[in-house]
Amino acid sequence: MDLLNTLVDKGLRRELPTRDEALAVLATSDDDLLDVVAAAGKVRRHWFGRRVKLNYLVNLKSGLCPEDCSYCSQRLGSTAGILKYTWLKPGQASDAAAAGVAGGAKRVCLVASGRGPTDKDVDRVSETIKAIKDNNEGVEVCACLGLLSEGQAERLREAGADAYNHNLNTSEATYGEITTTHTYEDRVDTVQKAHAAGLSACSGLIAGMGETDEDLVDVVFSLRELDPDSVPVNFLIPFEGTPLGKEWNLTPQRCLRILAMTRFVCPDVEVRIAGGREVHLRTMQPLALHLANSIFLGDYLTSEGQAGKADLEMIADAGFEVEGTDQVTLPEHRASGGCGGGGEGGGCGSQESGGVCGSAGTAAPARADEARTDLVAVRRRGAGTDLAPNA
């Protein structure tokens, strides 16, 4: 396909595809799917080889969030039967993190529910970061605490945080349909604060919330403009007791197309398969490793993931290798030149002039997936429990 040859060439040059080209990836047929995976795989291997970075989530504070994000089991008004607990002590969080590091995780992601941290919360997380780094040599720590106030990103950086995560989740045009207690602009502002403080910015999306192809392309193009170092691609986990609990819009094939489109738009960025891969990719997960160079190991915040041992076996069986703490994740031009990459063509933040999302028309709606509620399991182990974590 001429389209795929063009996209590979652009990906190897870090050149931004057109929106029409990105939409065309999402509109490809199942007959062409392996060709799409192979093409995006060339771009992935050019920048990241066959390495897979492992990340491990520690939910520092679970449930009882005042925000109304429709996709979230921890939201205001959620009746999902998740674990609910207040802040873990630094030692407890460090013990939980150690399990992930022992399983091969290179980065520990510290997450807390809520609109954003108070200054006291930042102090608490700073102590936790120190405890984790003191006990786990070489590990990266990413914080995900919600909307940041002035000076908080700098304090986290001083405490030893390497990165900050705050996802855009969906397109600006549809954001108000998903969340009303904060704005899309609030999220952009927090990512920019992380950038300005010298933290590695991590920001991604959630697919499967009823969005159009144009919405998906719009949010991924917005992410490229924001220029995060890592882009987590989440697939909605439809929790009963949340407004999106009945949304089953994804198939394994559509998930692969979304990952491929993200790789073409952000060729030299850490693309991470995040929440929901087990629910929606299922037995197609190994194919996704040809598109993304990063995954979460084990369980997620409120849901159980694939067994950590199975994750490691999947990586090895697919012919990939776990990235070590002594290896640099990002290509040299990003790792040495900061998040922006700089220069003509830039990193994943180069802007396309003109144009609007969706000029190629809308692809046919994706075939709705069957409701695999059997694959949605609430986390009952690890942080906040007396049971060993899955790592």
Active site residue 72: yes
The pLDDT value recorded for residue 339 is 37
CA-CA distances (angstroms) from residue 23 to 43, 49, 99, 254, 255? Answer: 18, 26, 40, 12, 14
Q: What is the rounded CA–CA span in Å between residue 129 and residue 141?
A: 7
pLDDT over 60 at 357, yes or no? no
Q: List the catalytic residue out of 144, 202, 266, 348.
A: 202
Q: List the catalytic residue out of 44, 51, 72, 254.
A: 72
Whole-number mean pLDDT of the chain? 91
| Long-range contacts of the stretch 178-187 (C-beta < 8 A, 24+) | 178/69, 178/70, 178/71, 178/209, 179/67, 179/68, 179/69, 179/70, 180/68, 181/66, 181/67, 181/68, 181/69, 181/76, 181/115, 182/67, 182/115, 182/147, 186/147, 187/147
DSSP string of 12-69?
A: HTTPPPPHHHHHHHHT--GGGHHHHHHHHHHHHHHHHTTEEEEEEEEEEEBS--S---
Read off the pLDDT band of 167 (50, 70, 90): very high
The pLDDT value recorded for residue 391 is 87
pLDDT over 90 at 163, yes or no? yes
The pLDDT value recorded for residue 344 is 33
The torsion angle over the Cα atoms of residues 77, 80, 86 and 91, rounded to 10 degrees, is -150
pLDDT over 90 at 348, yes or no? no
Least confident of 146-150, 287-291, 369-373: 369-373
Active site residue 224: no
Read off the pLDDT band of 369 (50, 70, 90): low
Work out the angle at residue 45's Cα, subtended by the Cα atoms of residues 214 and 162, and round it to the nearest 5 degrees.
Answer: 80
Q: List the catalytic residue out of 14, 69, 157, 357.
A: 69
The pLDDT value recorded for residue 361 is 39
Interval 11-61: pLDDT, tens: 999 999 999 999 999 999 999 999 999 999 999 999 999 999 999 999 999
Interval 310-341: pLDDT, tens: 999 999 999 999 999 999 999 999 986 543 33
Distance of CA 41 to the CA centre of its chain: 18
Q: List the catalytic residue out of 44, 51, 75, 142.
A: 142
pLDDT over 70 at 257, yes or no? yes
Q: Domains in the chain, please, with CATH?
A: 16-320 (3.20.20.70)
Interval 261-305: pLDDT, tens: 999 999 999 999 999 999 999 999 999 999 999 999 999 998 999
Active site residue 144: no
Q: List the catalytic residue out of 14, 65, 157, 357.
A: 65
Interval 119-130: pLDDT, tens: 999 999 999 999
Rounded average pLDDT over 92-114: 96
Rounded average pLDDT over 135-153: 96
The pLDDT value recorded for residue 367 is 56
The pLDDT value recorded for residue 352 is 38
pLDDT over 90 at 245, yes or no? yes
Active site residue 109: yes
Length of the chain: 391
Give the rounded percent of residues in the chain with a pLDDT score beyond 90: 86
What the block records as the tokens of 232 is 């987590």
Q: List the catalytic residue out of 19, 75, 109, 144.
A: 109
Q: List the catalytic residue out of 272, 277, 334, 379.
A: 272
Rounded average pLDDT over 78-103: 94
User: Which amino acid belongs to residue 355?
Assistant: G
Active site residue 142: yes
